[in-house]
Amino acid sequence: MWFYVVRRVLATLPVMGVVAMIVFLMLRLSPGDPAAIIAGDHATSKDIAQIREHLGLDRPLAEQFVRWLGQLATGDFGVSIYLERPVLGLILERVEPTLALSVTTMAFAIVLAIPLGVIAAWRAGSWVDQAIMALSVLAFSVPVFLIGYGLVIGFSLTLDLLPVQGFVSLGEDPIAFLRHLVLPTVALGLVYTALLARITRATMLETLNEDFIRTARAKGLGEPRVLILHALKAASVPIVTTIGTGIALLIGGVVVTESVFAVPGIGRLTIDAVLQRDYPVIQGVILVIAGVYVLVNLAIDLSYSRLDPRIRY
Amino acid sequence: MAATGMQAATAATAPAAARRPSRLRRVARRPLPALGAVLLALLVFSALAAPWLTSIDPFEMNVVDRLMPPDGTYWFGTDAYGRDIFTRTLYGGRVSLIIGASVAVASTVIGLVIGVVAGYFRFADAILMRIMDGLMAIPGILLAIGLMSLTRASIWVVIVAITIPEVPRVVRLVRAVVLSVREQVYIQAATAIGTRFPRLMIRHILPNTFAPLIVQATYIAASAVLVESYLSFLGVGTPPEIPSWGNIIAEGRLYVQLAFWNILFPSVFLALMVLSINVLGDGLRDMLDPRLARRI
């Protein structure tokens, strides 16, 4: 077991190394001179030369990369060109809204999707199943901003029940914090719900065909017990895996949702950075998000043996 | 209780055995994919025939008729510059179609080549798959946003930026098929009688990837249309002077309260296009092989 844990943890290193390389090469391999891109449209050639020397862009690529990795290892993600402040600090300042929205969305989706998926699989082929599946395709297809603005027009502007947009810190006012999160969570959560409901249904369909389900029914267990204690538990590994890989989809949606609801999170930071061509910030955000993604999926991987005793290392 | 078990069982394993009903009857039993195809055809037609369906120029500004609600002249109303939303929405469909189709083709072709190499040549596999793992660790939209920042925006740059994050999924799919097929007896037999690599690949291995690839390409097209609108909505996508759905919505968001039709109509067209492609993809998947390319 411990051997496996160590091996899995070490296996994340090459992935993060590749992410770092992609992020590094993105700027270097882009058409055009990175120094000129950073300097902007109105820079003189002297400005450009200065930036090039300042960032070490005149050195060999390999040397630049190793030096950059060394800086990353010490937690130095560079300095924002536009705001002239350390990138890591800028990201940490914006973590709360993004993290809060991601967590509430995941909770919302899991609570909604798993019962829907179980019911759809249990009544496979019935109108309930078909309705749940049709709604999930619909949720996959409707853009976040249509749901978002629809909710704003309905619940905020017309009924005046919830705030239109913005974010309030949990420490400042917990009630306002939650009220501001309701609409973004629903707008963003539907896609994730659809994804989880589909995978829950698909794995439950397979599990419900297994012999141990027939045995459980034969010994007279009630249907809820069969479905939840026996089938859902056995089907949990693919569902949990999808919760993990779905984070990529979720984070993409967070960026758009933050924009719809004017939430000052990491998504807003990224878009501002792109509009200002603030490359250290863009690179930092991609690295941090990819790191979170890899770590969450590592944790999920390591939880498999807990979820399913058939899995041993 | 037994009946529900049976239902689940037949639903999971149904297609294989039963005698094939006539094509018409199959369509009637599962009407959604056909409806999706018809809806998509209508949307494609409305985009291609835009100049004949409307006599208004999509760029024509009309200061007097700013933010007009939908009426007989302006079917979908007008935007803050007095431009006709109906016309702009029709033309916006062209951008989405070009981007959806280009991204689907480009990512499938690139993914196919890399996937075949990774699946067939052991030495390349380790390196290529590590690169794919790294790419997949970066959320697609975030990577696309990052790529968009590198150069001046154009439709081609948008296509490249959306294609790159889609490639790893295709690579994984192709690689998995190649890995399983190369162990089959008929490949051994083909090698034994001296079939050379190009022929082995084209005649015996690649055809196995086509069915799942077509399904995957459909889903990629749907996702690309959506991602383009997200990028444009965020202001980092298609250049703002081009009327793409995302751009129309990005401009209209300032007037949500005053003139919701600015975002409603392009959003609904967008949702319908993505929906019709997704439904078509589900239909193709069920038709070609229900076990392959199960949507994650």
pLDDT digits (tens, 9 = 90+) for B56-69: 777 776 776 666 67
Q: How far is A124 from chain B (nearest CA, A)?
A: 6
Q: Which 8-state DSSP code applies to residue B15?
A: T
Task: Express as a percent the part of chain B with pLDDT over 90.
Answer: 28
| CA B25 and chain centroid, separation | 28
pLDDT number for residue B15: 44
Q: Can you give the pLDDT at residue A312?
A: 66
Q: Do B7 and A125 touch (CB under 8 A)?
A: yes
Contact A290 B263 (CB under 8 A): no
Most confident of A121-135, A243-257, B162-176, B241-255: B162-176
A18 touches chain B (CB under 8 A): yes
pLDDT of B144? 93
Tell me what pLDDT residue B221 has.
Answer: 94
Q: B176: burial class by Cβ within 10 Å (0-12, 13-18, 19+)?
A: middle
- B291 has a pLDDT exceeding 70: no
Q: Answer whether A243's CB lies under 8 Å from A296's CB.
A: no
- A269 contact B CB<8A: no
Nearest to B142 among A126, A245, A255 (CB): A255
**Chain A CA closest to residue B8:** A124
- Gyration radius (Cα) of chain A, Å: 24
Structure letter (DSSP) for residue B253: G
Structural contact between residues B99 and B228, judged by C-beta atoms closer than 8 angstroms: yes
| B5 closest CB neighbour out of A15, A23, A217 | A217
- Is A198's CB within 8 Å of B295's CB? yes
Q: What percent of chain A has pLDDT over 70?
A: 96
A43 touching B, CB under 8 A? no
pLDDT at B281 over 80: yes
The pair of structure tokens assigned to B221 is: 């097209």
Q: Tell me: pLDDT of B19 over 70.
A: no
Specify whether the CB–CB gap between A35 and A57 falls below 8 A: yes
CA distances from A216 to B10, B175, B227, B285 (A): 20, 39, 45, 33
Please provide the average confidence, as pLDDT, over all residues in chain A: 85
Contacts of A165 (CB under 8 A, 6+ apart): A152, A260, A261, A262, A263
Answer whether A245's CB lies under 8 Å from B296's CB: yes
Q: What percent of chain A has pLDDT over 90?
A: 23
Q: Is B56 exposed, middle or buried (0-12, 13-18, 19+ CB in 10 A)?
A: middle
Task: Provide the pLDDT for residue A113.
Answer: 93
Mean pLDDT of B111-127: 89
Q: Does A122 touch chain B (CB under 8 A)?
A: yes
A149, A208, A247 member nearest B5 (Cβ) = A208
Q: Which residue of A has its CA nearest to B228?
A: A143
User: A293-312, pLDDT tens digit by residue?
Assistant: 999 989 888 888 777 777 76
In this structure, what are the phi and psi dihedrals at residue A149, rounded to the nearest 5 degrees? -70, -30
Max mean pLDDT among A157-171, A227-241, B15-29 falls in A227-241
Q: What was the pLDDT predicted at B74?
A: 66
A96: how many CB neighbours lie within 10 A of its CB?
A: 17
At A167-206, the pLDDT tens digits run 878 778 888 888 888 899 999 999 899 999 999 998 888 8
User: Got the DSSP string for B107-122?
Assistant: HHHHHHHHHHHHHH-H
Tokens for B16, please give them. 């294989």
At A117, the amino acid letter reads: G
Which pTM value belongs to this model? 0.86
Q: What is the CA radius of gyration of chain B?
A: 23
| Percentage of the residues of chain B whose pLDDT score is greater than 70 | 82
pLDDT at A41: 67
Mapped onto helix, strand or coil, the DSSP state of residue A163 is: coil
A227-238 residue pLDDT tens: 888 888 888 888
